[in-house]
Amino acid sequence: MTSINQTLQEEQVVVFQLMEQVYGIDINSVFEIIRMESITKLPRTPDFVEGVINLRGRIIPVIDLGLRFGLGQSERTQASRIIIVEVSGQKIGMIVDSVQEVLRIPTASIEPPPPVVNGVDATYLRGIAILEDKLVILLDQDKILYEKEKELLQQANIGGDQAWEV
């Protein structure tokens, strides 16, 4: 499948840090970036679901990206941010350690990902951009959400009765 990006010369990504690693996400899917605020916890949801926030009157689910990738939870600091991404009409917040910059990455420098990168399953990755001074792991935001959704749904399905055990 040829993705539309490969026909372009370069693409813009929002670069952020998570657990000492540099990641990038396509700027077109980033709705906005906000500071950490109080997040309402949701009972009985997977550990990576941090909760929900009120974003100007809309309820937005927020996930902890570190926990999502099974890397553990990183510390919340002044630099922590919530990146609100919009994928197929749904807005979702992802907690990251810090947001660094917006980079233009030449399409030619993007390599397909190896099966696992720093503990992150390649399912969630679009590729790796090898730049002069750094290496940026490019996330596939559709996959992050879609795969999660499947898991969540499965949990909801098996959770039918078990979910109620006190």
Please compute Rg for the chain using Cα positions.
Answer: 16
Question: Token pair for residue 120?
Answer: 């992150």
Q: Which is nearer to another protein, 8 or 153 (CB)?
A: 153
Over the window 127 to 166, marking each residue x when it contacts another protein by CB under 8 A and - when it does not, the resulting string is ------------------x--xx--xx--x--x-x-xx-x
Of residues 41-80, those binding another protein (CB under 8 A): 41-45, 49, 52-54, 56-61
What is the C-alpha to C-alpha distance for residues 9 and 45, in angstroms, rounded to an integer?
41
Sheet bearing 21-26, strands edge to edge: 98-106, 10-18, 21-26, 135-139, 125-130, 110-111
Least CB distance from residue 69 to another protein, whole Å?
17
Taking the C-alpha atoms of residue 21 and residue 52, their distance in angstroms, rounded to an integer, is 26
Q: Which residues bind another protein (CB under 8 A)?
A: 38, 40-45, 49, 52-54, 56-61, 88, 90, 92, 145, 148-149, 152-153, 156, 159, 161, 163-164, 166
